[in-house]
């Protein structure tokens, strides 16, 4: 099949890269992602860590169109030396899960797209299933096998595939599509670059484990005897006509075993396997393919068709080498019509729900750890105004103002205490204010004689002078006291000389020294402990600071630091140490293995920043492990924005599902591990903590 050769401009590539931010690496060599291990780089590369990353790609592709290439395990792909001009996507560990049924259950498996075929084959046999042994010698992924309808030894994907979980990059939707709608045919399907296989559901049959194991051994031996190792992508050409001569036989008949062009050579062991030398190049392989096709065409009149996907070659080169053209893919297929409409296969394997009581200790530990659950759905209380019965603020008392009503001889006067002058204290309110709002009167008794008026004026003037003198004396007294206080404060007798620090372990020593310096020598009475505490609280490790002053010269700085719980590795490959709230405390180059690891590749956060919901929940999970199971846990993990995982030291994989109900899920886990030795358990699904599903060995 020929890759979409619409060459995107540099501008489009840059735009897509900036839309996808730090999810993207540029000019990533993708040759090493293939079993041929030759070829160039992808202009843009993303390892999707979750389906959310694919949604982000979809949204970005709506704005700028760029060819997309899904990479599986690269065992059916040859990348040109010029590389791939577009966005190459590989799925991360979230797509590697293998969920096997228990004996007595439907023999149905759910397998992530990146799960390796040989591992699925071996695990299914170990679980007593038969029907997938053929895949043990096919070094690809489930996703690649679905798209190519891989097969061998008389079987192929069609034989067992029930449905696939697909993400549609153009339509930005995810759906289960039944196998019947995938257009599966010999080494091909209707899946295009817009269809991302996320997982597959396979129906096998219960069988005899020993028989399965001997079949596996037989297949492995046959492969070793008949196929070469080294750098290749399996059969190069599709067998032309079923039942007639194989492509290998046609090439062999021409005596081409061992034929070499540059760094590419036809295998001596199998004429349809073309090997690349170590450090070789893809263009030699494609040239060899073109040469062989020509020879077979001339000798037998048969046009061989490439089984290998040729990536990044010009359409002419790819067509000469026998690549399918994209028009060979069926258009407007059932696949598009059926997308999202088929039913989901229910894979849950319920076990009886737990009834044992947990000890008070475990419950107390859990309650403590999850008091402030980091996950958004927990402990979230929406308080509407009507709910606030107890807390409803009472209607405010009318504030007491200085405005009062007084009567003066039956007349209403308005008295504003705030506006009264200090000198008025000697005079009754009514006298002072009686002139306010008093209507002019014609009553002669109200007329005051001139002699009384002038003696009154003198009295007032004397009082005013006396008041002024008192005021001046008071001001000088205050200034004197202030000067004395300042003198004492500035005196070295009460300057800070001893600073005692408690609780600092991880925080920056430089910051501590700087703050100490800023406090040293300051008066114990006036030293600004608040701003010093705020400075220290700026350190990501510091949760709170209290500075106590002890007269005459001692300060005690009490520091409460955050507790490092776990670490995750960011996209930049540097470790982020986080606390139980998912707050990044430090960024380190190595792996601080003294803490629990949160697997998965997380965001490149700086110290002080808080991780997103799922990492927060993973940190909380790591910090909330009851003592009873703490030693059994190897790591916690993030499988996507909605999936928390945990691996036990026994190898048991635990799917916590979405990051909610963590306390209940842990309760469920503790109960399960009390019942059953984890060494006997392959996996536990706690998505619904009330009905956990357990896959035992």
Ligand X SMILES: Cc1cc2nc3c(=O)[nH]c(=O)nc-3n(C[C@H](O)[C@H](O)[C@H](O)COP(=O)(O)OP(=O)(O)OC[C@H]3O[C@@H](n4cnc5c(N)ncnc54)[C@H](O)[C@@H]3O)c2cc1C
Residue with Cβ nearer ligand X (101 or 144): 144
Which residue among the candidates 307, 336, 365, 661 is catalytic per the annotation? 307
Among 57, 108, 197, 648, binds ligand X (CB under 6 A): 197
Q: Closer to ligand X at the Cβ: 1 or 585?
A: 1
**Is position 232 an interface residue for ligand X (rule: CB under 6 A)?**
yes
C-alpha to C-alpha distance for 439 and 201, rounded to whole angstroms: 99
Options 103-111, 226-234, 297-305, 449-457: segment touching ligand X (CB under 6 A): 226-234
Specify whether the CB–CB gap between 621 and 375 falls below 8 A.
no
Residue 255: CB atoms within 10 Å: 10
Q: How far is the CB of 314 from ligand X (least distance, A)?
A: 18
Residue 235 falls in the annotated catalytic set: yes
Q: Does 219 bind ligand X (CB under 6 A)?
A: no
CA–CA dist 312, 315 (Å, integer): 9
Residue 536 tokens read as 């220290």
Using CB under 6 A, which of 83, 139, 540, 623 touches ligand X?
A: 139
Q: Which member of 41, 43, 160, 235 is catalytic?
A: 235
Q: How far is the CB of 202 from ligand X (least distance, A)?
A: 14
| Active-site option among 85, 187, 305, 576 | 187
- Residues 141-180, interacting with ligand X (CB under 6 A): 141, 143-145, 147-148, 150-152
**Residues 525-564: x/- map of binding to ligand X (CB under 6 A)?**
----------------------------------------
Question: Half-sphere exposure of residue 207, counting CA atoms within 13 Å on the CB side?
Answer: 18
Q: Which of residues 292-321 bind ligand X (CB under 6 A)?
A: 309
In this chain, which stretch among 134-142, 376-384, 481-489, 659-667 interacts with ligand X, using CB under 6 A?
134-142
DSSP annotation string for 554-599: EEEEEEEEPPP-EEEEETTS-EEEE-TT-BEEEEESS--TTSEEEE
* Closest distance of CB 135 from ligand X, Å: 8
Stretch in the footprint of ligand X (CB under 6 A) among 50-58, 132-140, 289-297, 403-411: 132-140
Q: How big, in percent rounded to 5, are the helix, strand and coil portions of the chain?
A: 35, 25, 40
Q: Mark residues 630-659: x for contact with ligand X by CB under 6 A, - for none.
A: ------------------------------
How many residues in the shown chain lie near ligand X by CB under 6 A? Answer: 34
In the bound complex, what is the minimum distance in angstroms from residue 77's beta carbon to ligand X?
4
Please return the burial class of 535, using the count of CB atoms within 10 Å of its CB with bins 0-12, 13-18 and 19+.
Answer: middle
Whole-number Cα distances in Å, 330 to 158, 211, 333: 18, 40, 6
- Nearest approach, Cβ of 316 to ligand X (angstroms)? 20
Query: Closest separation between CB of residue 219 and ligand X, Å?
Result: 10
User: Angle 426-427-433 (CA atoms, 0-180°, nearest 5)?
Assistant: 150
Q: Is 561 a catalytic residue?
A: no
Binding segment (CB under 6 A) for ligand X, from list 70-78, 281-289, 360-368, 568-576: 70-78
CB 343 → ligand X: shortest distance, Å? 21
Contact 267, 273 (CB under 8 A): yes
The secondary structure of residue 373, as a DSSP letter, is: -
340 scored as a contact of ligand X (CB under 6 A): no
Name the E strands within 17-97.
24-29, 41-48, 68-71, 77-79, 84-91
**Considering only 22-30, 63-71, 296-304, 459-467, which stretch makes contact with ligand X by CB under 6 A?**
63-71
Would you say 311 and 291 are in contact if contact means Cβ atoms under 8 Å apart?
no
Strand partners, 405: 414
Q: Treating both helix axes as pointing N-terminal to C-terminal, what angle do 209-226 and 117-126 enclose, rounded to 10 degrees?
A: 150
Interface with ligand X (CB under 6 A), residue from 138, 177, 236, 499: 138
All residues at 6 or more sequence positions from 482 whose CB lies less than 8 Å from its CB, including other chains:
none
* CB contact at 8 A, 682 and 364: no
* Distances, alpha carbon 405 to alpha carbons 337, 413, 437, 471, in Å: 84, 6, 12, 31
Cα gap 569→562, rounded to integer Å:
20
Stretch that binds ligand X, among 73-81, 419-427, 511-519, 542-550 (CB under 6 A): 73-81
Asked if 75 touches ligand X (CB under 6 A), the answer is: yes
Write phi, then psi, for 497 (nearest 5 degrees).
Answer: -120, -25
Q: CB of residue 615 vs ligand X: minimum separation in angstroms? A: 25
Element (H, E) at 453: helix 450-490
What is the spatial distance between Cα 450 and Cα 557, in angstroms, rounded to a whole number?
A: 74
Residue number with CB closer to ligand X (124 or 141): 141
Question: Binding to ligand X by residue 227, rule CB under 6 A?
Answer: yes
Among the listed residues 30, 42, 49, 69, the single contact to ligand X using CB under 6 A: 69
Among 169, 233, 565, 654, binds ligand X (CB under 6 A): 233
Shortest Å distance, C-beta 289 to ligand X:
15
What contacts 172, CB < 8 A, 6 or more positions away?
Answer: 55, 58, 59, 62
Q: Is 7 annotated as catalytic?
A: no
Question: Helices 662-675 & 360-369, crossing angle to 10 degrees?
Answer: 150
Only one of the segments 133-141, 284-292, 483-491, 582-590 lies at the binding site for ligand X (rule: CB under 6 A); that segment is 133-141
* SS3 assignment for 321-367: CCCCCHHHCCCCCHHHHHCCCCCCCCCCCECCCCCCCCCHHHHHHHH
Closer to ligand X by CB, 75 or 176: give it. Answer: 75
Q: Does 199 bind ligand X (CB under 6 A)?
A: no
Residue 92 is a binding residue for ligand X (CB under 6 A)? no
What phi, psi does 556 have (nearest 5°)? -120, 120
Q: Which is nearer to ligand X, 20 or 148 (CB)?
A: 148
For residue 76, state whether it binds ligand X (rule: CB under 6 A).
yes
**Beta carbon of residue 40, minimum distance to ligand X (angstroms, whole number):** 16
Residue 564 Cα to chain centre, angstroms: 19
Among 57, 87, 113, 247, binds ligand X (CB under 6 A): 113
What residue ranges bind ligand X (CB under 6 A)?
A: 35, 69-77, 91, 113, 138-141, 143-145, 147-148, 150-152, 187, 191, 195-197, 227, 232-234, 309
Which amino acids are annotated catalytic? 187, 235, 307
């Amino acid at each position: 099949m020929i890759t979409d050769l619409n060459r995107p401009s540099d501008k489009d590539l840059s735009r897509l890269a900036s839309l996808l931010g730090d999810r993207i690496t540029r000019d990533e060599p993708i040759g090493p992602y293939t079993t041929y291990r030759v070829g160039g780089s992808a202009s843009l590369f993303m390892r999707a860590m979750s389906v959310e990353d694919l949604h982000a790609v979809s949204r970005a592709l709506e704005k700028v169109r760029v060819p997309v290439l899904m990479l599986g395990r690269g065992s059916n792909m040859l990348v040109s030396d010029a590389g791939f001009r577009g966005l190459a996507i590989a799925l991360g560990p979230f797509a590697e899960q293998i969920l096997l049924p228990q004996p007595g259950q439907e023999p149905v498996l759910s397998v992530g797209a990146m799960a390796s075929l040989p591992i699925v084959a071996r695990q299914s046999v170990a679980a007593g299933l038969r029907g997938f042994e053929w895949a043990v010698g096919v070094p690809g992924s489930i996703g690649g096998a679905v798209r190519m309808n891989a097969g061998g030894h008389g079987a192929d994907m069609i034989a067992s595939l029930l449905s696939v979980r697909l993400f549609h990059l153009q339509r930005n939707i995810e759906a289960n599509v039944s196998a019947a709608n995938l257009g599966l045919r010999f080494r091909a399907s209707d899946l295009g670059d817009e269809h991302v296989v996320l997982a597959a559901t396979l129906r096998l049959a219960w069988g005899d484990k020993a028989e399965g194991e001997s079949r596996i051994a037989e297949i492995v031996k046959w492969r070793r005897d008949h196929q070469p190792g080294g750098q290749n992508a399996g059969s190069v050409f599709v067998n032309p006509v079923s039942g007639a001569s194989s492509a290998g036989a046609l090439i062999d008949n021409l005596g081409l075993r061992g034929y070499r062009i540059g760094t590419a050579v036809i295998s001596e062991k199998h004429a349809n396997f073309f090997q690349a030398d170590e450090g070789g190049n893809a263009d030699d392989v494609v040239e060899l393919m073109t040469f062989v096709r020509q020879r077979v065409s001339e000798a037998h009149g048969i046009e061989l068709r490439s089984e290998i996907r040729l990536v990044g070659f010009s359409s002419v080169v790819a067509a000469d080498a026998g690549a399918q053209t994209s028009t060979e893919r069926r258009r407007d297929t059932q696949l598009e019509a059926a997308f999202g409409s088929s039913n989901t296969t229910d894979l849950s394997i319920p076990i009886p729900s737990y009834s044992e009581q947990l000890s008070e200790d475990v419950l107390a530990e859990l309650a403590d750890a999850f008091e402030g659950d980091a996950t958004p759905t927990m402990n979230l209380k929406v308080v509407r105004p009507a709910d606030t019965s107890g807390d409803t603020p009472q209607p405010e008392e009318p504030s007491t103002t200085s405005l009062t009503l007084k009567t003066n001889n039956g007349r209403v006067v308005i008295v504003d205490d705030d506006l009264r002058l200090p000198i008025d204290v000697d005079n009754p309110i009514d006298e002072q204010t009686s002139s306010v709002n008093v209507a002019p009167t014609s009553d002669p008794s109200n007329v005051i004689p001139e002699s009384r008026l002038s003696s009154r004026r003198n009295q007032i003037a004397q009082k005013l002078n006396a008041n002024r003198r008192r005021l001046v004396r008071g001001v000088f007294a205050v200034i004197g006291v202030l000067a004395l206080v300042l003198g004492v404060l500035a005196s070295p007798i009460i300057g800070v000389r001893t600073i005692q620090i408690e609780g600092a372990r991880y925080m920056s020593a430089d910051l501590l020294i700087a703050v100490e310096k800023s406090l040293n020598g300051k008066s114990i009475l006036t030293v600004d402990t608040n701003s010093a505490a705020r400075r220290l609280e700026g350190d990501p490790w510091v949760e709170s600071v209290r500075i106590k002053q002890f007269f005459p010269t001692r300060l005690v700085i009490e520091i409460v630091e955050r507790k490092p719980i776990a670490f995750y590795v960011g996209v930049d490959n540097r470790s982020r140490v986080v606390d139980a709230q998912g707050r990044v405390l430090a960024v380190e180059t190595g792996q601080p293995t003294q803490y629990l690891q949160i697997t998965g590749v997380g965001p490149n956060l700086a110290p002080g920043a808080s991780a997103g919901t799922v990492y927060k929940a993973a940190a909380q999970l790591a910090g909330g492990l009851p003592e009873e199971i703490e030693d059994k846990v190897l790591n916690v993990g993030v499988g996507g924005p909605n999936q928390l995982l945990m691996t036990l030291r026994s190898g048991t994989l635990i799917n916590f599902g979405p990051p909610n109900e963590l306390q209940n899920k842990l309760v469920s886990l503790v109960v399960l591990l009390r019942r059953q030795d984890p060494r006997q358990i392959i996996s536990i699904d706690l998505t619904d903590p009330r009905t956990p599903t357990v896959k035992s060995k």
